[in-house]
Amino acid sequence: MTNTASLHALALVAARAASAKKGTDTVVLDVGPVLAITDAFVITSGSNPRLVRTIADEIEQQVKDAGGSAPLRTEGLDDARWVLLDYGEFVVHIFLDEAREYYDLDRLWSDAPVLARDDASGELAAAALA
């Protein structure tokens, strides 16, 4: 895995890209201590499949522009209910609102430290990063 600061920086780039394209309830979770396959989850939602695809495209572009690589794997673009962008060190989950509610990853990973979250105004606020 890469160093923690650069990992968190790229995960935050992805989260900010999602928020910039109207992703809602965006959160970055530090799952590394409890999940061996990745270090962070970025979770966000879109109100329709077209918006979910737009968010995915923007994340890919912004991560690349920030010096990151393309995702190792992308899943779910066909129906855009739940798109997964796997960057190895972090994984982005982009849900349709109703799919996010159904799968409830936020509850499943509620013990993971929050690195960043949308604030009341919809802006991404970063927590203190180690």
CATH number of 86's domain: 3.30.460.10
103 and 94 in contact (C-beta within 8 Å)?
no
Q: Which residue segment(s) compose the domain that 94 sits in?
A: 4-120
Q: Is residue 130 part of a domain?
A: no
Q: Is residue 55 part of a domain?
A: yes
Tens of pLDDT, residues 39-85: 999 999 999 999 999 999 999 999 999 999 999 999 999 999 999 99
Tens of pLDDT, residues 2-39: 455 676 899 999 999 999 999 999 999 999 988 989 99
Other beta carbons within 10 Å of 6? 13
Q: Is residue 125 part of a domain?
A: no
Q: Is residue 128 part of a domain?
A: no
Closest Cα partner for 87 from 37, 22, 127, 49? 37
User: Could you give the number of structural domains in the chain?
Assistant: 1
Phi, psi of 114 (to 5 degrees): -90, 125
